Amino acid sequence: MPTTKSLYGRRLTGYAIATAIVLTASLTLAFFYAPIEVDQGFSQKIFYIHVPLAIVTLGGFVVGGIFAIQYLRSGDTRHDLRSYTAIHQGLVFCIGALITGCIWAKAAWGQWWVWDEPTLVSFLIVFLLYCTYQPLRFSIEDPQRQARYAAVFAVVAGVFVPVNFIAVRLASPLIHPRVLGSSGGSLPSDMRIAFYSALVGVALLFITLCKYEMASKHSRAQLGALRRSVSGERDEPLATRSAAPRIAVK
Amino acid sequence: MSAARPPSTLTAARAVLYKELTLERRAPQTLTAMALFCASAFVIFHFALGRDELEGALASGVLWVTLTLAALLGIGRSFVADREEGGLDGFLLAPAPRTALLIAKATTLFIFLLIVGLLAALLFSVLLLGPTPSASQWASLALVIVLASLGIALVGSLIAGIAIQTRARDLITSILALPLLIPLLIAVTKASAPLLGLGAGTLAGRWLALLGLYDLIFGLLAYALFDYLVED
């Protein structure tokens, strides 16, 4: 079995630096390079944060689902940890996408929440579903069963996301600006550069935070193991209820 | 002496289904609770909305919210007896395919939901519904109830399988099921609204297509994932 030592913290510094540089550059582009939008004015700038957050959130949930499938196929607990982290961070980003969406709705339409907006409504439903991931894990004590059931949930929820988007979109008239539609989009090239750099920046932030969370959990598990070996306690950690996956430390 | 052959999936599913239906017939619990819940909910809606008669989207919403919450009762009870009386362990000891359990549970839930759905629709038309639907509208509504019951039964069996092993079973069932059922609810409420309206509303094909898609996707998912829920 490969040792998990130093696995999670690898290249963390590099990712963190890249994130800081790309995010700063993309925000600079968004505020100083991309032109002010004619209809919405300065408030449209939130688009450069809101849309990347939304896209990365969905990406995170999909990645969580893929790792969950890998866990179910292999039984390797590292995939469970990756799935857990991707969904956990995805949820955090989802809150960000919802809040920025509300702010944008207020600026564009004068209301904090608009039910006519299918993407925002879909996000709320997806958020509500993924909110149950942590309570579900927490309510199962046996670590193996917890990981297996959480993986089943992650796969079901991952498939649910597109079905939900189709249903909500069918049910509501389209008023959201379709900036990147199938017809090639109406985004001018200078806005597009700022948008894509923001997307890369937010994606890098997601990866960095995931790696950071995994490294932190692993370090804490290692510290616990060291502390137990110093004090001469038994090698197994005491069984405590937790929503997070247990990490085996060599 | 040749060893006894393990039962096929359908044989095992039929046996479990027979057990479920016999249990319900001898000591009616789930069906009566669901039906009573629907009746009480309609009375509550009458007072809460302050309306004697409903039509269109509001009627459709009241009917389906009631049926969804009643379905939660059925989903919550789905594996309880098996878990408490050791039926689940017994099934796992038997050389039967695990899919049989899913098929039996989903079929049981489907039958319950169908009966409760049709009864509730009739009761709703007597108690709260303003316009009188035509025969073709009744047939369309029955089709919607069939497709919705199938979807709820498939998702419900999967959720019941997950929730039965958790500490907070009732909580997990509700908070998992409601968001997962939202696409289905969108389709059924939109499909039913014109049927319960004042004009000669007809069933829109796209909502049936969405319901069919939902049933198909979650049916396949339940089939693919259920084995992982009954591993030990």
H or E stretch at B103: helix B99-127
Over residues B181-207, the pLDDT tens digits come to 999 999 999 999 999 887 777 778 889
Higher pLDDT: A249 or A197? It is: A197
pLDDT of residue A183: 43
Higher pLDDT: B17 or B80? It is: B17
Examine residue B195 and state whether it is found in any structural domain, yes or no.
yes
- What is the 3-state secondary structure of B116-160? HHHHHHHHHHHHCECCCCCHHHHHHHHHHHHHHHHHHHHHHHHHH
Query: Which two structure tokens, joined as six digits, stand for A220?
Result: 């804490």
Examine residue B123 and state whether it is found in any structural domain, yes or no.
yes
Examine residue B43 and state whether it is found in any structural domain, yes or no.
yes
Q: Which residues contact B201 (CB under 8 A, 6 or more apart)?
A: B137, B193, B194, B195
pLDDT of residue A184: 43
Q: Do B186 and A153 touch (CB under 8 A)?
A: no
Which residue of A156, A164, A166, A241 is the best one to mutate when testing the B interface, meaning the one whose CB has the most B CBs within 10 A? A156
- Overall average pLDDT of the A70-99 stretch: 94
Higher pLDDT: B3 or B97? It is: B97
**What span, in angstroms and rounded, lies between the C-alpha atoms of B40 and A100?**
41
Examine residue B60 and state whether it is found in any structural domain, yes or no.
yes
**Burial classification of residue B193, based on how many CB atoms lie within 10 Å of its CB (0-12 exposed, 13-18 middle, 19 or more buried):** buried
Query: Which two structure tokens, joined as six digits, stand for A248?
Result: 């085996």
H or E stretch at A171: helix A143-171
pLDDT at A185 over 60: no
Q: What is the DSSP letter of A237?
A: P
User: Given CB atoms, is A18 within the 8 Å cutoff of chain B?
Assistant: no
Examine residue B112 and state whether it is found in any structural domain, yes or no.
yes
pLDDT of residue A250: 60
What phi and psi, each to the nearest 5 degrees, are found at residue A37?
-70, 140
Q: Predicted ipTM?
A: 0.88
Query: Which two structure tokens, joined as six digits, stand for B168?
Result: 């907070």
pLDDT band, residue B139 (cuts 50/70/90)? very high
**Burial classification of residue B84, based on how many CB atoms lie within 10 Å of its CB (0-12 exposed, 13-18 middle, 19 or more buried):** exposed
- Overall average pLDDT of the A79-104 stretch: 94
Q: Do A166 and B180 touch (CB under 8 A)?
A: no
pLDDT of residue A234: 66
State CA B128 to chain mean position distance: 22
Contact list in B for residue A126 (CB cut-off 8 A) is 179
Contact list in A for residue B221 (CB cut-off 8 A) is 155-156, 159
pLDDT at A240 over 80: no
Higher pLDDT: A162 or B84? It is: A162
pLDDT of residue A153: 95
Higher pLDDT: A242 or B34? It is: B34
Contact list in A for residue B92 (CB cut-off 8 A) is none
What phi and psi, each to the nearest 5 degrees, are found at residue A90?
-60, -40
pTM: 0.87
Segments forming the whole domain that contains residue B32: 10-229
How many CB atoms are closer than 10 A to CB A250?
Answer: 9
Examine residue B5 and state whether it is found in any structural domain, yes or no.
no
pLDDT at B29 over 80: yes
| Closest alpha carbon within chain B to A157 | B180
pLDDT band, residue A3 (cuts 50/70/90)? very low
- Overall average pLDDT of the B107-123 stretch: 95
Examine residue B3 and state whether it is found in any structural domain, yes or no.
no
pLDDT at B68 over 60: yes
Higher pLDDT: B187 or A249? It is: B187
Examine residue B1 and state whether it is found in any structural domain, yes or no.
no
Domain count, chain B: 1
Sign of CA dihedral A98, A100, A106, A112: positive
